[in-house]
Amino acid sequence: MNSNFSCKTCASADQILETFISNLSVDTSHHRMEGQSVKCGFGLQGICCRLCSNGPCRITPDGPKGVCGATADTMVARNFLRAVSAGSGCYIHIIENTALMLKKTAASKGVLKGKLALAKLAEIFEINETEEHVCAEKIADMVLADLYKPDYIKMELVEKMAYKPRFDRWKELGILPGGAKSEVFAGVVKTSTNLNSDPVDMYLNCLKLGISTGLYGLTLTNLLNDVMLGEPSIRLAPVGLRVIDTDYINIMITGHQHSIFSYLQDRLIQDDVVEKAKAVGAKGFKLVGCTCVGQDLQLRGEHYKEVFNGHAGNNFTSEAILATGAIDAVLSEFNCTLPGIEPICDELKIKQICLDDVSKKANAEMKPFVFEEKESQSNEIIDAVIESYQARRGVVALNMDADHGNDDTLTGVSEGSLKSFLGGTWKPLIDLIVKGEIKGIAGVVGCSSLTAGGHDVLTVNLVKELIAKDILVLSAGCSSGGLENVGLMSPSAAALAGPKLRAVCESLGIPPVLNFGPCLAIGRLELVATELAEAIGVDLPQLPLVLSAPQWLEEQALADGAFGLALGLPLHLGLPPFVTGSPVAIQVFTQDMLNLTGGQLIIDDNAKSAAETLDAIIEKKRKELNI
């Protein structure tokens, strides 16, 4: 017997990672899959309800309704809307903090690195203000004002941000959102005991939450971050466990709020801080990317090369990253910060500091970010991390894997940088699509999960099938973390694409899978889609564009999915989101949605058949566009 924690770990599309994890002596999410492998059928179908003390009720042949009279359709809809509300809340929390950060940065005349982003937002928001700080503050105020509106007052920026045909359709459907925070509140209230029992009303409500999530939580968060932190720029970057350099004091970051790190990331490379590191035997500090905030740092990495070595992996790679023993501290400000890292950090003496209590770990030091105290807070964090480094390095064994990942992942792709790359216009891309050199575009986005075949298994397999059909893949989220670590976002991956797409990629020197960064960047994909649609003169459902969140994980993903459906796109999921117990849900999502928004839910956990379905949809849309 050896010291491995357990023989039974789940599969991963990332073979090197799978081997690494199977040999670990610590327990990880990959180990825990086995023990949780038999799932309760009631839960899977969404037909279990725990809203009141007459329950928990389950829909069974002997009990076709809950005690209150709720049918399966009601239960499923309530559970789903509640999940979408929570997911929306998560994203709205992010945009709220981001907007507050922008406001304070602007008010204190801080550096605003993204001039282009600022100008663009000013144009969209119709702000006529030349002084950049005043302009930025106005932008922030407008966002906050919308977020804080009550639910009976519609948010004003929706009309400015959304593509007009979409806005008009949403208005017709009566799903324009009121204040984003209030909408979350409303969703939670509506789904409580013996309140709303109209499934269709609840699903329309989900679409409404999808719109506020998408435009504010996703799109605007990116743009506001761009203003503060600089626009993304395309570059080749190293990814995977290999980015961790043991010569440095390494801080792993988890979350979605890049702006929280804006001061710290600059502070860490200042001379006096570097000297502190050298005094204890390290060359300096490095931030190690993990989860969406890591993707954000990677996206804007051109500006942060000194403090950021690279993105090591996605959410379900976080435990492995820590298990290398080379991480000295974890700074968490949002998800995914797995509870599972707590015992690992304890055992490996890794300091945990939580910057936003939404992601507090039981054994983390709580240090909620306060803008006005960012200097002293950063110094305290730095000192705490140095203490951790001293206490643990040399004492805790290292377990590195220099083979994992690669050195040439293309990153920094955004609606702006991609357009620049194409010469400042979308025409080259549109031409390629019209000619059929690129058959269509698939946004393969969202989370990483350990089901659907294993860690990133369905995601990777689906992407391989899609690119083989000459479909260009744009990715955003933890799925990107998985795709890049297995090399699909390296230019060499063009070899796996179909002949036409391969030719395009090789001539441009790009991979067939483009990394837009964090899941927030699903909002960037929406901007790209909107600009393409505008250029062609159609509405979004007419584009040869499909969306897939193959290994969606959490409630935020469901809110993202609601946005995708609201945009009228075909949305593929690998596994059903706990709705199959309701015939109405199936009907609404897979059929009626086409007439409502033009969107459609497709559920298929087989990469091959899912790709064929999506391919067929793209072909159909091409035909309808006469191309």
**Binding flag, residue 63, another protein (CB under 8 A):** yes
Q: What is the pattern of x (binds another protein, CB under 8 A) and - over residues 432-471?
A: ----------------------------------------
The CA–CA distances, whole Å, from 154 to 85, 147, 176, 182 equal 17, 10, 7, 11
Nearer to another protein, 39 or 109 (CB): 39
Cα 573 to the chain's mean position, in Å? 15
What does DSSP assign to residue 397? P
Find tokens 């009228």 and name the residue.
Answer: 568
| Count of residues near another protein by CB under 8 A | 21
**Binding flag, residue 62, another protein (CB under 8 A):** yes
**Binding flag, residue 1, another protein (CB under 8 A):** yes
Q: Are 560 and 86 in contact (CB under 8 A)?
A: no
What does DSSP assign to residue 398? P
Nearer to another protein, 23 or 390 (CB): 23
Nearer to another protein, 37 or 507 (CB): 37
CB 34 to another protein: min, Å: 8
Nearer to another protein, 46 or 110 (CB): 46
Nearer to another protein, 37 or 192 (CB): 37
Among 5, 148, 167, 185, binds another protein (CB under 8 A): 5
∠ Cα 457 301 448 (to 5°)? 20
* Per-residue exposure over 106-126, b if at least 16 CB sit within 10 Å of its own CB, e if not: beeebebbbeebbebbbeebe
Q: Residue 553: count other Cβ atoms within 10 Å of its Cβ.
A: 21
Cα 20 to the chain's mean position, in Å? 25
**Cα–Cα dist 571/552, whole Å:** 11
**Sign of CA pseudo-dihedral 108, 114, 118, 119:** positive
Among 35, 53, 61, 69, binds another protein (CB under 8 A): 61
Nearer to another protein, 3 or 626 (CB): 3
Q: What is the pattern of x (binds another protein, CB under 8 A) and - over residues 553-592?
A: ----------------------------------------
**Binding flag, residue 58, another protein (CB under 8 A):** yes
Nearest by Cα to 544 from 444, 431, 623: 623
Phi, psi of 445 (to 5 degrees): -130, 180
Nearer to another protein, 15 or 108 (CB): 15
Of 60-68, 108-116, 192-200, 314-322, which part binds another protein (CB under 8 A)?
60-68
What does DSSP assign to residue 592? I
Nearer to another protein, 46 or 511 (CB): 46
CB 58 to another protein: min, Å: 5
**Stretch (H or E) spanning 102:** helix 72-107
Of 53-61, 161-169, 370-378, 592-600, which part binds another protein (CB under 8 A)?
53-61
Q: What is the pattern of x (binds another protein, CB under 8 A) and - over residues 7-46?
A: xx----------------x-----------xxxxxxx---
**Binding flag, residue 397, another protein (CB under 8 A):** no
Of 1-9, 134-142, 375-383, 386-394, which part binds another protein (CB under 8 A)?
1-9
Q: Are 405 and 242 in contact (CB under 8 A)?
A: yes
Cis peptide bond prior to 56, omega within 30° of 0: yes
Residue positions counted in the chain: 627
Q: Give the residues lining the site for another protein (CB under 8 A).
A: 1-8, 25, 37-43, 58, 60-63
